[in-house]
Structure 1
């Protein structure tokens, strides 16, 4: 089967709890919060589901454990129309687990990485790279072995006329190492950081300038900036789009839904300005329900909302 999109990266259950008091009190005293939910998580997994919801034919490559958490992930992806034939089951290491503690518009994310560090470029079947129109990778700094082989994967994809995109997501180590990343950026068509990541990757305090700096390293840079909307920078010209006026229930995964919207718009032939507006709409609309996938927009809603 040929696919529009191959997503490579992380997939795990998220336990979303909140709102929690800030700072979080310890002391072994039980406290109650308003809500909790068990949902599909992982930047790559949420992006894949968003793209499938938007009508793309999506395949997923990554790794989960041979456990109930891994079965939950496989089922959740498949139920949302994502092909999981290339989702490797690790025989020894567990599925990653994440707890998301929400507090107003902010959140703390605690992840036990499980089999994520064992994910490598060899987990991505070569035939998949030859059968897709676009390859997206996420959570670059959570999977160092995959990161080391990502430039080669992207080169192979581009040699087969596919386009590429990357969402680095956060770097838990705080190092934001550039050596491996720069090699990947040279074969990346679209870089999709959020504002905090753009600042961290460049050390520059002005968002537009940070985006321009990243763009001059190779890719078109499309930056998510929460309620402030989004911007796209190609190294010389910048475009911007507002977020939708939505009362957010949960912002988990909004950036990943944004990524899905941008990639879907590009694959459907839209130019940068329209793609940015559609992506901003997808990110905003995804915040209407708990978890990253429950309120993802379909294509008609995304396009109508972006007008």
Structure 2
């Protein structure tokens, strides 16, 4: 089985179970228990890849506080995952408070913490066939100096024949270090084989193109954005659009052949494809991390050499299983016609 390395942003997600009626200033209301789990690209995508059956190594930075202890404990119970997690003295561990009020879109309060110290130079490009990195918007060492940190990492991976994959996050419009994210994406894209952002991510990356998030919902916009990323130089782009579904666009044969080994070895049926999948209707148990899980589904399909239609189906199915509360994801058994990942029930129970 081909191997994957997932590097970059990691955090601890704090998930209070809230009521629909939030308290007024000065009030106290009873809420449910606090959920605590690993989050960020490294945990969400990396652990989903591992659950599906891919050998995975995680590379990220933690602080030296109690949240770092919690993250290490949470990771220690996950089988078959290699982790190179640096503990940075004097730094706090990144965390997100997920404000999920019934009947409303989620809100996030995020502390970037030790992710500001993430050093792309320590990420090895040997011993793996695929390198997935997320999220440059929350890792200043990747975006500083005109994006040189990520550009250098991608170039090292390309030189080693490693397939590169990058996922984005939404950008805080009020951040003091506002950047030209559109320009950075255009600079990085020719060295990125797989891009897997959401529509919401791209709204903040290309703010001049879209003036308001309410104008950019649905599969047609997701498809147009995926096509735009391929035009910028990516070999393929999977753009998720929340409850509407997701779209996959791929470049021509020549671009695929110039990618890392995993992309270069794909059959010609992967070239110049335009595919979309509606989201499965499930009873939502959790939505945080669904996009990262869709990314894991696509990357796993690429590692296994599946057809593009199967790859998109696996990405959509993995996201639906995650949303339904299935944890961990079912292990891929290699038989698409009877795989639990593609055709099993969405019952929100833990998989065997």
TM value normalised by structure 2 = 0.78
Question: Displacement, 1:208?
Answer: 2.3
Q: 1:26 to 1:140 in 2, by over 3 A?
A: farther
Q: Comparing both structures, which one devotes a greater share of its residues to strand?
A: 1
Moved more, 222-231 or 32-41: 32-41
Check the 8 A contact 2:38/2:71 in 1, yes or no. Answer: yes
Gaps of 5+ in 2: 211-215, 252-271, 333-338, 346-352
Runs of 5+ unmatched residues, structure 1: none
Superimposed CA distance per residue, residues 130-180 of structure 1 (whole angstroms, 9 cap, x where no aligned partner): 110100011211111134311211121122221111111111236562333
Q: Deviations over 1:266-295 (max 9, x none)?
A: 100012221011000000100123xxx835
Deviation of 1:3 (Å): 6.8
SS of residue matched to 2:191:
coil
Taking a change above 3 Å as real, the CA distance of residues 73 and 123 of structure 1, as seen in their structure-2 partners, is: farther
Q: Does 1:165 find its partner at 2:165?
A: yes
Given candidates 224, 227, 236, the residue that maps to 1:212 is: 227
| Inter-partner Cα distance in structure 1 for 2:44 and 2:81 | 11
Q: Among residues 308, 312, 319, which one is paired with 1:283 in the alignment? A: 319
Q: Check the 8 A contact 2:237/2:248 in 1, yes or no.
A: yes
Task: Give 1:303 shift.
Answer: 3.3
Contact kept? 1:262, 1:278, Cα under 8 Å = yes
* Residues 7 and 131 in structure 2, CA contact (< 8 A), matched pair in contact too: yes
**For the residues of structure 2 that align with 1:78 and 1:5, how far apart are their CA atoms?**
19
C-alpha RMSD of the superposition: 2.3
Query: Which has the larger displacement, 25-34 or 246-255?
Result: 25-34
1:296 counterpart residue number: 329
Name the larger-Rg structure.
2
For the residues of structure 1 that align with 2:154 and 2:342, how far apart are their CA atoms? Answer: 29
Aligned-partner Cα distance in 2 for 1:77–1:3: 22
Residue of structure 2 in register with 1:135 after alignment: 131
Distance in 2 between residues matched to 1:55 and 1:87, nearest whole Å = 21
Runs of 4+ with >6 A deviation: none
Contact kept, 8 Å, 2:129 with 2:163, in 1: the verdict is yes
> Cα distance, 1:76 vs. partner?
2.3
Counterpart in the other structure of 1:106: 105
Aligned equivalents of 1:3, 1:31: Cα separation in 2: 50
Query: How far did 1:305 drift?
Result: 4.7
**Residue in 2 that maps onto 1:267:** 303
User: Aligned equivalents of 1:267 and 1:105: distance in 2?
Assistant: 37
- Give the TM-score normalised by the residue count of structure 1: 0.88
CA offsets 1:24-62 (integer angstroms, 9 cap, x no match): 544131123345311111122111000000101101111
Name 1:9's counterpart in structure 2. 8
Question: Which residue of the partner structure matches residue 58 of structure 1?
Answer: 56
Q: Partners of 2:330 and 2:290 in 1: how far apart?
A: 11
For residue 183 of structure 1, the aligned residue among 171, 184, 187 is 187
